[in-house]
Copies of this chain bind each other. A is one copy, B any other.
Amino acid sequence: MPEEAYSGKSVERRRELLSIAVELFAKNGYHKTKISDIVHQAGVAQGTFYWHFKSKEAIALEIIANGREEISKVISQGYRSHSGTVVDMVQASETLLKNLFRFASENRYLMELLLGSGASDEAIRQAASDTRIEMEQAFRRNIERAMELEMLPQTIDPKLRAAMLMSLIEGMIARWLFGPQAPESPLSDITLDEISAQTARFEFFGLLGI
């Protein structure tokens, strides 16, 4: 099966460029990452990049599109099928956050790209923003579902709450993963379980929380 091997090589190279690009974009930002950096790290010629991708913008958009899909999967798993107790709910919330934080830590470059709304190309800024909006809407659906199941009071505004929840999560992921490695850094060495639990608790009970 030489055919497959051949085509496999090409796919491999593409994947390699893709993954190098995510890393460099995250580390140095979109603008400061040069195509020459990417190809140099891959050990190929500059032209090779343009065999596999249409442009610098195109590869960034592809990266984000990929990430968008994967994240959607993670979040929508939090959608409740049936009612439950308060304890159930806290636990479910914690599980969802844990999955999300785990995904983030396993894809930190991607997350940096998505959350650092940085001064990229307009199209890329847009794509990243769209992804975050999609995440927020997934959370909103989860909240609305919980209201339907009467696990949350009918008085709250789901849109607003989703915004707050998403703000919280975005900020915590950012601090946990790429927060300043300063001595006083609050979150660098916290565990996955802990950050999930704490965030879930805050989510429910707020600063005053029991």
* Contact across chains for B163 and A175 when beta carbons are under 8 A apart: yes
Task: Check: A159 CB closer than 8 A to any chain B CB.
Answer: yes
Min C-beta distance of A62 to chain B, whole Å:
18
Residues on B with C-beta less than 8 A from A207 are 143, 152, 156, 161, 164-165, 202-204
B-contacting 9-mer, from A1-9, A98-106, A116-124: A116-124
A171-B170, A171-B171 are known contacts. Are A208 and B208 too (CB-CB below 8 A)?
Answer: no
At the interface, yes or no: A167 with Cβ under 8 Å from chain B? Answer: yes
A180 and B120 in contact (CB under 8 A), knowing A199-B164, A209-B204? Answer: no
Dominant secondary structure at the A interface: helix
Is residue A160 within 8 Å, beta carbon to beta carbon, of the partner chain?
yes
Please determine whether A164 and B168 come into contact, CB atoms closer than 8 angstroms: yes
Determine if B129 and A180 form an interchain contact, defined as CB atoms under 8 angstroms apart: yes
Q: Provide the residues of chain B in CB contact with A129, threshold 8 Å.
A: 180
Interface string of A186-207 (1 = CB under 8 A from B): 1100100000001101111111
**Interface residues of A toward B: which range?**
35 or more
Q: Does A133 contact B (CB under 8 A)?
A: yes
CB distance from A2 to the nearest CB of B (A): 16
In the bound complex, residues from chain B placing their C-beta under 8 Å from that of A136 are 186
Specify which chain B residues have a CB less than 8 angstroms from the CB of A159 in the assembled complex. 184, 186-187
Q: Determine the chain B residues whose CB is within 8 A of the CB of A180 once the complex forms.
A: 129, 133
Question: Which B residues touch A204, using CB under 8 A?
Answer: 206-209
- Indicate if A67 sits at the interface (CB-CB under 8 A): no
A13-21, A25-33, A71-79: which lies at the interface: A25-33
Quick one: CB contact mask for A36-65 with B, threshold 8 Å, 1 for yes?
000000000000000000000000000000
Minimum CB–CB distance from A23 to chain B (whole Å) comes to 14
Would you give 21 A-B contacts (Cβ < 8 Å), ordered by A? A32-B119, A117-B117, A117-B118, A129-B180, A153-B210, A156-B207, A160-B187, A160-B190, A161-B202, A161-B207, A162-B186, A163-B171, A163-B172, A164-B172, A164-B198, A167-B169, A201-B209, A202-B207, A205-B205, A205-B206, A206-B206
